[in-house]
Copies of this chain bind each other. A is one copy, B any other.
Amino acid sequence: MPSDLRCNALLFAFSAMGVLAIVSGSSKLTNASEPPNIVFIFADDLGWGDLSCYGQRRIKTPNLDRLARQGTLFTQFYVAGSVCSPSRTGIMTGQSPARHRIFGHLANRESNQRRGMPDALDPDVPTLTDVLKDAGYVTAHFGKWHLGNVSPDQYGVDAFRTDKFCNVAGKQAIDIWSAEARPVCTANILDATLDFISEQSDAPEPFYVNAWFSDPHATLNPSPDQLDRVKNLAPQGVPFPGVAQVYYACVLEMDRQVGRFMDRLEQLGVADRTLVLFSSDNGPEDFQIRNSAHSGVGSSGPFRGRKRSIYEGGIRTPLIVRWPGHVPAGKVNRTSVISGLDFLPSLAAIAGASADAVSDGDGEAMDDVWLGADRERRTPCFWEWRYRVFGHPANKPPQLAVRDGDFKLLVNPDGGRVELYDLASDPGERDNVAANHPDVVQRLTRMALQWNKTLPDSPRDPGAGMESWRWP
């Protein structure tokens, strides 16, 4: 990307979407640097409130806390979807997942068809890995994929090992779902990542790697050793472990493995020239889901909603960014709203990719914010969910949401059930202030409904967007 593009705020107007993507300004640090290696670690169903650096008090997560101290922790990061596939599509394309008909999780053909979904993300859509590969990166993907039954190499991924789930495992699958594999799945994903990085550590090209976990997604099966590490959470005298014990054993193991990974990056001599991102694909699972036997105890922190919900708890997840000498260490950014849709334009800017590559995105280049700027976001964020939400009625939101500044509005596609929250004073979305701000309601409702009109249609669940309890 030419520096004049990076040094001026260049606005791309997307007539189809009515929104703006901004390739931002102040990448002074990157100008002075070689493009860094990039590793993106993506946890699965980890809640915003599950790491001790985000306020969790049941166990310590010392390694992720250390990553946060060595980099910047963001309190206002959002994924673009409230479940796996949409959220991952948002990261990989920089575009709202519904534009690609990825409305929900990719499942079997029948289920996909019933919901008007494809069986995979269209490989012709430019992805983050396409963009970085074009910019001279060697790219790789290890672990969970969940973008459908098309091989990752069709998306600009040079090397990959993934799960059997979508029959695109590559040379050698990594078992991340069987009960036997669960205690070692995160270790195995990071081992594959480290093998790749070892090979690349002396190569002239920088690398980009997705290390996408299946922890702490259900069904969890920590080993006796792993359970023993959190035995303080065990119920007394009964012959089976406690639910928090099962869940946090897995979170703790994930934390340990990230620590081991970071130590190994140091030993390989690449840690200082590697940008490491850590996040989670959506909020914590709910107990109402049968296989979520133990994942339902995950924490959404102070937020309302869990996985599937477009209240904060379903879409606001941890984001830690570490790049020594470039990303401020020990900083907590509470000011800037970041979206998963920003990954592509932000990383493209950091990698020096062509501006064309990011010209049809829905995100905003926030590389300047990652690198230390404390500015507010310039563009709104949108979410949608067409299906039922399980669990407590309070966690079941309307089907559309828009955040603009500190205001978040939720509304159904028919214009009903309007809720407005001032997230600066009420991050938990408890006080609907729609009645006090008719002008804001009108403006944001129009934005949300106009955005919704640009999205493909698909069958919606009866009951989507409604609170419900089967009253006696």
Contact = CB atoms under 8 A, between A and B. Distances in A.
Interface of A: 49, 53-55, 57-58, 68, 73, 75, 178-179, 182, 218-221, 232-246, 287-288, 290-291, 293-294, 296-297, 300-302, 304, 332, 334, 392-394, 428, 430-432, 435-436, 467, 469-472
B470 A57 contact: yes
A472 B53 contact: yes
A104 to B, nearest CB: 21
Contact of A55 (B235, B243, B246, B469): B469
Contact of A54 (B68, B394, B472): B472
A244 B179 CA distance: 19
Contact of A293 (B57, B242, B288, B432): B242
Given A54-B472, A219-B237, A393-B428, 8 more contacts: A179-B237, A179-B238, A219-B236, A221-B239, A238-B293, A240-B240, A301-B469, A302-B392
A314 to B, nearest CB: 14
Contact of A49 (B58, B241, B297, B469): B469
A110 B68 CA distance: 41
A55 to B, nearest CB: 4
26 contacts: A55-B469, A55-B471, A58-B288, A178-B237, A219-B235, A219-B236, A219-B238, A221-B237, A234-B293, A236-B291, A240-B246, A241-B293, A242-B293, A243-B243, A243-B287, A243-B294, A243-B297, A302-B393, A302-B394, A302-B469, A334-B472, A393-B428, A394-B394, A394-B428, A430-B430, A431-B431
A394 B430 contact: yes
Shortest 4 CB-CB contacts between residues of A and residues of B: A242-B293, A179-B237, A235-B293, A302-B469
A334 B472 CA distance: 9
Contacts of A239: 221
A234 B219 CA distance: 10
A297 B243 CA distance: 9
Contacts of A472: 53-55, 68, 73, 75, 332, 334
A396 to B, nearest CB: 10
Contacts of A235: 218-221, 291, 293-294
B428 A431 contact: no
Question: Which of A178, A469, A471, A472 has the most chain B CB within a 10 Å cutoff?
Answer: A472
A365 to B, nearest CB: 24
A325 B435 CA distance: 50
Contacts of A219: 235-238
A236 B182 CA distance: 12
Contacts of A234: 293
A75 B471 contact: yes
Contacts of A220: 235, 238
A293 B244 contact: yes
Contacts of A471: 55, 75, 302
A296 B237 contact: no
A49 B472 CA distance: 10
Nearest to A290: B233
A297 B302 contact: no
Contacts of A53: 472
A308 to B, nearest CB: 17
B293 A245 contact: yes
Contacts of A431: 431-432
Nearest to A294: B243
B240 A470 contact: no
Question: Which of A332, A428, A470 has the most chain B CB within a 10 Å cutoff?
Answer: A470
Given A75-B472, A332-B472, A470-B55, A294 B432 contact: no
Nearest to A436: B435
